[in-house]
Structure 1
Amino acid sequence: MLPRFDPTNPLACMSVLEDVTSNAKQIQDSVLEAILSRNAQTEYLKGFLSGHIDKQSFKKNLPLVTYEDYRSYIDRIADGESSNLICDRPISLFLASTGTSGGYPKLIPLTAEDMEQRILFASLYAPLVFKHIGRLTEGKSLMFYFVTRESETASGLIVRFMLTCVLKSVNPSNIFLWDRVQVSPHEISTCVDTSQAMYCQLLCGLVQRENVARLGAPFASSFLKVINFLEDHWTELCSNIRTGRVSDWITDAQCVSGVSKFLTAPNPDLASLIEKECSKISWEGIVKRLWPKAKCIEAVVTGSMVQYIPLLEFYGGGLPLISSWYGASECFIGINVDPLTKPCDVSYTIVPSMAYFEFLEVEKDHQETGHNPTKNPVVVDLADVKIGHDYELIITTFSGLYRYRLGDVLRVTGFYNNAPQFYFVGRQKVVLSMDIDKTYEEDLHKAVTSATHLLEPHDLMLIDFTSRVDSSSFPGHYVIYWELGRKLKDAKVEPHRHVLEECCFTIEKSLNSVYRKLRMNDGTVGPLEIKVVKRGAFDELMNLFLSRGSSVSQYKTPRSVTSEEAMKILEEAVVSEFLSTKTPSWEPREMHSGR
C-alpha cells in the first residue's frame, strides 16, 4: 500500500512516486504477503489455499478468474452475507463498472482503506502536470464532472460509480480546497441532473473564462459530450450572461446556488464576445478561443478513447491533450509520468503499491500463449515482463479480488526506475466474428481510423462509431454505424457515395488476413457495410446504457452491439447505407503491423 504522505505537498508526492517505482519488486512481494496474510481465513482463500499463504501456493492453487467466476461471492455479500467471504475488512460499498460491454454494471467490492489509497494515488500525478506545463497556477481548472444516482443492494450496501464516490467523499470542511483549484463549485458537480449540471458548469466556466488555466473531463468522450452540449446551448448561455439571470429550467437548488456565486450581474460585452466566436463558420479551435488562457485539455485519450483524438485536436486549437492516469473500477493502476507525450504514444507507469499485479502473456494476434491456455497459462510477475510483449493484466486487491482478469491488454514500452511502463492496447475481447475470423477492438479502431482519412477532403469528421455482425442473410457481413459531423457549417453531412464505398473497402483491407481470406476465397463473409446514422444517434445509445445504470462520466461507446434495444436505436437512425464494392486481396502478412 502507499505510505501516508501529505497529498498537498508536491515534493512529498514526487518522493513517494520515486520510492515505489524504484522498489517495485520488493513492494509487490510485500503487497501479496499482506493481502494473503490478512485474508487467509476468508472462505474464498481457504477453499484454495487451506491455510498456506506463501506465494508459490498462491500461484499454484488459485485460478485466474473473470467476473462471472466470482459473481456468486459478490451476490452473496450484496444479499447480506459477511464481507469475510472474500475480505477481512468490511466492504463499505460496491463500485459499479461502466457496464457497456455486457450491458449492465458489475459490482466491485471496495473497503474504506482502499478508497483512501485511491485518493492518495490521484495525488501522485497532480505534481507531474504542474511540472511539465507552466503557469497552470495562474488560473483554475474547469473540469466537467457528473455524479450518478446511487442505489442499494438487498442488504443495504451502497452502489456508486467511482467518480460519484470521489465527489461525495469531499469533506464539507475542505470545500475551500476544491474552490481554490476548481472554477465550478463543488455543489454543481454533485447535482444528479446531468443536463443541469453540464449547463451550469459551462455557464460558470464562460463567466470566468479569463481564469481558466486547463479544461477536461474523466474521458475524451465525456469532454466531447460537453462540447456537443455547448453547440446546442450556446445561444441560451449567452442570453443568461447578457441578462445576468439563469434560465428558468435550471431548478436544482445546488445548481442555482452554485451559479449565483458568479452570475451576479448582466454582462452584455462578454455575451457578445462568446456569440461572435460560436457564430463563426467553423468550430475549429473553439476551446482555445473561448478560454484563451487555457494551457491544456485533460482527459483519458487511450484505449477506446483513441478514436476521439482528432475531434479533441480539432476543437482544442493546439492545446496539449493530457492523459494523466489509467485505472478501472477494480483497481487504480498507472500514472503518465510524461504528460506532454503525444496522445498516440502515451505510456503509463504502474504504481506497484496499489495491488498485486500479474501478467498473462498474449500473442500478437491477441491469443493467449500455450496450446491449452486455460490449463497452462504463461503468467509472469511485474518484475519479469519484457519490453515489446503484450499481456493481459491480472490483479489481486486488498478489497477481495484474487487473480482477477481485468480484460485489458497492455504492451510493455519500457521502465520508469524499476516499474514497467505500458501502452494500452485494448480489451481482450473479440468485437466482431462471422466464422473463424476474429476482429479485436484494436483491429477495428485501426481499420476505422484508416478509413476516416478519406473524409478529411470533404470537411467531415467521424463523431462516433460502433459495429455488429449481420447474419440475417447469407453470407453474413460486418456492419459499421457511423455518425458524421461537419467541420464547416455549410459542409454537406455526407460525401458522395463512392467516398463511403471506398471507406468500406479501406476498413476491409485494413482487417486481418483471416478476414480478407474469407472475403476473397470462399464468400463466407459478405461485403462490409457502413450505415450512416443521423446526428444524436449515439446520444440515444448512451441514454439506453444510462437507463441501465451506467454513468455519463464513465460511459464509453461499446465498439460492438448485440442487444436488440441497441440495434433498434441505431437502425431507426440510419439515413444512408453503403457496401464495399471491391474485394480486399489476401496475402500472408502480419495482422498487427508495428508489433
Structure 2
Amino acid sequence: MSRPETDLLDSLSTELSQQLKDHVDQTLLESIRPNYTSQFSQHAPELAKFREAIAQSDSKDDIDFLRSFREFVPTTNYEPYRPFIAKFLATPCKEADVENMFAPGLPYFFAMSSMTTGTTVKIFPKYRPPPHLLQHPLFLALPPSEGTALSPSSLKYRQVLEIECEDGQSSKKVTVCSLSAGYLRMAMNWDVEGDNDRLDLWLPGQTDPYAMSLINSYRGYFVLNALFALANRGVTTVRFFFANIFVTFLQYVEDEWPLLVDCIEKGVIPDIENLDHLRAPLQKHLTPNPLRAAELREIGPPGIQGWAVRVWPDLNKFIGITGGPAAASVPKINHVLGPSVSIQAPAYGGTECVIGVTYHKGNPNTDFKVVFVDGMSEFLDVRSREPSERVLSAWELVTGGHYEPVVTTRNGLWRYRIGDVVAVKGFDPDDGLPIINYLHRRDGSLGLAFGTTCTESQLTNAIVSAANRWIGQIMDFTIVGDERDTPITYGYLVEIVGEIGNDARMAPQQTFEDLMVANLEYYAAFWQGRARKPTIRLVEKGTFSEYRRQKSDKSVSIGQVKVPVVLSDSTYTEWLLKRVIMEL
C-alpha cells in the first residue's frame, strides 16, 4: 500500500524549539516533583548531589529544580534500583517499608523484562497513572479497533507479592508479570483473586475468550488461539507484539491444520495438555460450524500469497514490531498477508517506558514520534567524542544523528539508559517532537577478538539479504561467536521455512560481502588478518519455537519472548549448537 506523504522539519524554528522546551519541562516536573519525596530519591547514593543542590536552593522554584536535575542527576542503569526493589521481595513485606518507594503509594504491578540480552529477569514497578492518562492508548493492552481483532493476550504471571497493610488485618497483592498483562489487568481492574470468576467472559471485538489468557501450555496457547481465530470469518485486525510471533502462530496453523478444521466443523476443543478447568468455559464458546470448516478446507493451510485475506476477507491491518530481531520474518508476513493489508508498528519503547508512538504521516512501520506520556526522554549522542554523561534534550537533537534514549519516568526511574540506538529522521512540523527510527541495541553487538563490532542492524540486514537471494524464507535466527577456527567470527544459526534454496551455499559469501561494505572496521580487520568470514549453520525445524517455550516457562509472557540478534547466554548457545543440521 502507498505511504502517506510527510514534510518533516530538518531543524526547529526558534518558536517550535521554545514550545518543545516548555513541553519537556512541564512533563519532567510532573514526574520528578512527586517522585522526589520517594524512598529511592531520598536515599539512593546516585542522587546525593541532586539532593544537596536542592537543599541549597529554593526547592519550590521550578527553574532551580529543573536546573539541579539537569546538572546533578547522572545517568543510571538497573543496579542502583535493585536493592530498593528487593525490599518488595522480602518476607514479610510491610507496607511501611515499601510505600512511596519509587513514586507515591504502592505499585499496581511489577513488569518483567523479556530477558532478551541477559539471563536474569529485571522487574520494574508500575504505579497506576493519573486518571487523565489511564485511558490513553499506551495504557490499553487491548486498544480499540474497528471490527474483530486477532490479538492474543496472556495474563500469566511469575509470582504474586503480598504486602501486609498497616492495619495488620489486610494485605495488597501485587503481580509480577509482563507489561501487557499488567496493563490489561489495570485497564480492566482484574485482580488475581477473581481470575476464575471471569472464565465465561468474552470481550467484544476479540477472537479469543477470556479463559484463553490463562493458558499455560505453549502449544495450547497457539493452537487454541488459532482455532477461535479461524472459526471467525470477520477478523479485521491482526495484532501480535512481535511480528515473528505471528510467524510462529502460522507455523502452528500449518502443522495442526487438519485438527483445527475438524474441531471447527464439530465444535469441539482439541485434546490440549494442561487445560484442566479452562476446557469447559472454552467449550461453551465454540459451536459446530460445518460451513466455515468447508470454506477453510477449500482455502487450505498457509502457503499461497494473500492467504490471510482469503481466510479473513475483511482483514486490512497488521500491527506488530517488525524491526530488530523480527526483521527476518517480514518477507513471510508480507507473503501471507498480501498487498492489501497495511503493516504498522504498535509503539517504540521497552518494559521501562514507552518512548514513541507510530507516526502515521510517515512510514507507520518504522517511524515513531517521541511522546512524553509514560515518562520524559533525553538522549546521549552515541557518535560524540564528548563525555557520555552529557545528556541532550529533545530540542538539541540533530536530524541524522544517532542517539541512545535516556528516560525519567512517572514510575520512578531517573535518567535510566535504555541501551538502544535510534536515528532522528526529522521533527514534526506541528509540535517539534522528534521523529525517530530504531536502529539496534547499543550493547547488543558481538564484540569479537579483533576489537571491532558490526551493529545488530548490519548483521540482520546481511542475513536477510542472503536469505532472500539464496537460502529461502527465514523463520528465526540468532548469532553466536564461532570459535571453531581463529580468529573468532559471527556464527549465524538459522531456521528456515520450507525448502532450502538450490544455491544456499552462496549465502555466507554474500553475508560477508554485505558486512564488508556496511562496516569499515570489519573491512579493515579482515584485510589485516584479524577477522574471517561469517559462518551460517541451519538448525532443525521447531528450534526457535522450543527456545521461546523454554523462555516462556521461566514466566516470560508467551507472546513477548524475543530471540536476540546476538546470543550471549552460554547455556542456550550450547543447546542451539546441538540442533544444527547443516552448515552452508
TM norm structure 1: 0.81
After superposition, the Cα gap between the structure-2 partners of 1:239 and 1:23, relative to the gap in structure 1 and judged at 3 Å, is farther
| Corresponding residue for residue 519 of structure 1 | 526
Identity %, equivalent residues: 22
Give the conservation status (yes or no) of the 8 Å contact 2:237–2:315.
Answer: yes
Give the conservation status (yes or no) of the 8 Å contact 1:142–1:214.
Answer: yes
| Corresponding residue for residue 545 of structure 1 | 551
In the alignment, the residues of structure 2 paired with residue 293 and residue 303 of structure 1 have an alpha-carbon distance, to the nearest angstrom, of: 29
Give the conservation status (yes or no) of the 8 Å contact 1:240–1:247.
Answer: yes
| Corresponding residue for residue 237 of structure 1 | 260
Query: 2:281 pairs with 248, 257, 262, which one?
Result: 257
| Corresponding residue for residue 167 of structure 2 | none
Tell me which amino acid in the other structure corresponds to 2:320: A
Query: 1:484 pairs with 496, 502, 510, which one?
Result: 496
Query: 1:55 pairs with 58, 66, 73, which one?
Result: 66
- Verify: 1:536 aligned to 2:555, yes or no: no
| Corresponding residue for residue 125 of structure 2 | 109
In the alignment, the residues of structure 2 paired with residue 512 and residue 27 of structure 1 have an alpha-carbon distance, to the nearest angstrom, of: 38
After superposition, the Cα gap between the structure-2 partners of 1:152 and 1:27, relative to the gap in structure 1 and judged at 3 Å, is same
Partner SS state of residue 256, structure 2 = helix
Partner SS state of residue 216, structure 2 = coil
Tell me which amino acid in the other structure corresponds to 2:81: Y
- Verify: 1:227 aligned to 2:266, yes or no: no
Query: 2:316 pairs with 295, 313, 320, which one?
Result: 295
| Corresponding residue for residue 274 of structure 1 | 296
| Corresponding residue for residue 11 of structure 2 | none
Q: Give the superposition deviation at 1:454.
A: 1.7
> How do residues 142-541 of structure 1 correspond to structure 2 at under 5 angstroms?
142-152=150-160, 157-169=174-186, 170-171=188-189, 179-209=203-233, 211-249=234-272, 251-254=275-278, 256-261=280-285, 263-265=286-288, 267-278=289-300, 282-318=303-339, 319-338=341-360, 341=363, 343=365, 346-363=366-383, 369-373=384-388, 377-416=389-428, 417-418=430-431, 419-434=433-448, 435-455=450-470, 460-486=472-498, 492-496=499-503, 498-521=505-528, 523-541=529-547
Q: Give the superposition deviation at 1:118.
A: 6.0
RMSD: 3.1
After superposition, the Cα gap between the structure-2 partners of 1:511 and 1:21, relative to the gap in structure 1 and judged at 3 Å, is closer
In the alignment, the residues of structure 2 paired with residue 142 and residue 471 of structure 1 have an alpha-carbon distance, to the nearest angstrom, of: 43
Give the conservation status (yes or no) of the 8 Å contact 1:274–1:290.
Answer: yes
TM norm structure 2: 0.82
Tell me which amino acid in the other structure corresponds to 2:523: R
After superposition, the Cα gap between the structure-2 partners of 1:531 and 1:315, relative to the gap in structure 1 and judged at 3 Å, is same
Q: Which runs of 5+ in 1 are unaligned?
A: 1-19, 131-135, 364-368, 487-491, 579-595
Give the conservation status (yes or no) of the 8 Å contact 2:408–2:415.
Answer: yes
In the alignment, the residues of structure 1 paired with residue 394 and residue 508 of structure 2 have an alpha-carbon distance, to the nearest angstrom, of: 46
Tell me which amino acid in the other structure corresponds to 1:441: E
Give the conservation status (yes or no) of the 8 Å contact 2:200–2:211.
Answer: no
Tell me which amino acid in the other structure corresponds to 1:431: S
After superposition, the Cα gap between the structure-2 partners of 1:116 and 1:164, relative to the gap in structure 1 and judged at 3 Å, is farther
In the alignment, the residues of structure 1 paired with residue 18 and residue 283 of structure 2 have an alpha-carbon distance, to the nearest angstrom, of: 46
Deviation per CA, 1:400-442, whole angstroms, max 9, x where unpaired? 1101001122212223322222111121124212122112212
| Corresponding residue for residue 89 of structure 1 | 105
Query: 1:31 pairs with 24, 27, 33, which one?
Result: 27
| Corresponding residue for residue 7 of structure 1 | none
In the alignment, the residues of structure 2 paired with residue 341 and residue 50 of structure 1 have an alpha-carbon distance, to the nearest angstrom, of: 43
Partner SS state of residue 356, structure 2 = strand
In the alignment, the residues of structure 2 paired with residue 23 and residue 463 of structure 1 have an alpha-carbon distance, to the nearest angstrom, of: 46
In the alignment, the residues of structure 2 paired with residue 241 and residue 339 of structure 1 have an alpha-carbon distance, to the nearest angstrom, of: 41
Deviation per CA, 1:108-145, whole angstroms, max 9, x where unpaired? 11112379846523379999xx9xxxxx74x3112122
Give the conservation status (yes or no) of the 8 Å contact 2:118–2:568.
Answer: no
Deviation per CA, 1:292-347, whole angstroms, max 9, x where unpaired? 2211111122333333221210111222112132232111222214178363xx21
Partner SS state of residue 197, structure 1 = helix
After superposition, the Cα gap between the structure-2 partners of 1:68 and 1:50, relative to the gap in structure 1 and judged at 3 Å, is closer
In the alignment, the residues of structure 2 paired with residue 430 and residue 306 of structure 1 have an alpha-carbon distance, to the nearest angstrom, of: 16
In the alignment, the residues of structure 2 paired with residue 314 and residue 497 of structure 1 have an alpha-carbon distance, to the nearest angstrom, of: 21
In the alignment, the residues of structure 2 paired with residue 115 and residue 480 of structure 1 have an alpha-carbon distance, to the nearest angstrom, of: 48
Q: How many residues matched?
A: 528
Q: Which runs of 5+ in 2 are unaligned?
A: 1-15, 43-47, 60-64, 164-172, 191-196
Partner SS state of residue 571, structure 2 = helix
Tell me which amino acid in the other structure corresponds to 1:168: R
Give the conservation status (yes or no) of the 8 Å contact 2:370–2:434.
Answer: yes
